[in-house]
Structure 1
């Protein structure tokens, strides 16, 4: 499998990853012969090689079904991040390349303890959510606006263990895209029902969370 990143991009990524605070683990679940599985594994291996605080582990979704269930992974390629060996609730379904590399880097850095500032009232509101919530963000890798939505969802998941945030590569999971009638991105689905369309401020996310 050829490498995903060239030397120039790897140098840029390495500079960004130098900010990592605490060790994290990236886990990718695959199935033999499924689209983009090999590419995602190669991508994560390249990323992990850039910083010794990143550990990468690959699992088979079928053979390691118990672990997949533990981390809430039900599609391949499915990637999640652990911080201090604990799930963050962040998941990437598909390959987070193109513009979505920014989402992956954000998730890695935030999971490691590099926290971007957020208004204290919003933080409190997110932490007070006491029900299980799933946030799906449907994206296109060519969309420059989608990472903003993914990053917002990831930020929320890191603040509350009851909340999962999923980036979903729309063209790879056509069954899901059809189910939710995705015809433009970013599209954010809360608990498979309520939704937001386009780039929205985190306040809009919080409003949806409160009403669920």
Structure 2
């Protein structure tokens, strides 16, 4: 899936920027699943580009899903075992999202996202469980910043689970939350944030959820 030149570039980038170990954990459907196979091949290929990367694969029925807050397949979790933080992609992180995926790997390896100190402290201050779902389409150029903002929070705080949700794969879920346009971020299954908001605004929205009755 990756051409030789890109693999060489990524290998060099990982060699210079990865600090700690990162697991790429795939959760697939228990029955045959085309996108699951595609995502597994992709994940295995990326994991060969650094000795700090490893790959695991589990069926959705695995008890491992609860540990990572995974509810649907295919899901790919970028996981820092040392910090118990993660970033999840429900769908293939291709097209505009490939860069986000690579940035998440590097941030997970570093132990925290590369954001300003005050925003990092604000993300770490969240003291209640948070689930962020960012609905996207693969053709949306405005969606990756929304995904990265959510992932920055989850990579800073183990109480936060954040996932990119590809609306083309999870149409019923998008319909359940009446997603008419993307990106749209759902906070704890109730509050919604439309568009690609700055990280500071998303953090304010997340913190306000715990204040609502």
* Matching residue of 1:44: 43
**Are positions 1:196 and 2:202 aligned together?**
no
* Matching residue of 1:139: 136
Once the two structures are superposed, residues 13-44 of structure 1 have per-residue CA deviations (whole angstroms, 9 ceiling, x without a partner) of: 33332321111111101123124000000000
* Matching residue of 1:164: 161
Question: Are the counterparts in 2 of residues 79 and 93 from structure 1 also a CA contact under 8 Å?
Answer: yes
Distance 2:136 2:159 in 1: 23
Question: Are the counterparts in 1 of residues 107 and 114 from structure 2 also a CA contact under 8 Å?
Answer: no
Q: Secondary structure at the match of 1:92?
A: strand
**Are positions 1:67 and 2:103 aligned together?**
no
- Structure 2 residue runs without a partner (length 5+): none
TM-score (norm 2): 0.90
* Matching residue of 2:7: 10
* Matching residue of 2:26: 28
Question: Are the counterparts in 1 of residues 113 and 156 from structure 2 also a CA contact under 8 Å?
Answer: no
* Matching residue of 1:108: 105
* Matching residue of 1:88: 85
Distance 2:114 2:105 in 1: 16
Q: Secondary structure at the match of 1:152?
A: helix
Question: How much has 1:190 moved relative to structure 2?
Answer: 0.8
Task: Count how many residue pairs are aligned between Structure 1 and Structure 2.
Answer: 207
Once the two structures are superposed, residues 61-111 of structure 1 have per-residue CA deviations (whole angstroms, 9 ceiling, x without a partner) of: 22x2x1122222121111112213553232111111111111111110000
Q: Where in structure 1 do 4 or more consecutive aligned residues deviate above 6 Å? A: none
TM-score (norm 1): 0.90
- Structure 1 residue runs without a partner (length 5+): none
Distance 1:122 1:193 in 2: 23
Q: Check 1:109–1:126 CA distance in 2 against 1; reply closer, same or farther (3 A cut).
A: same
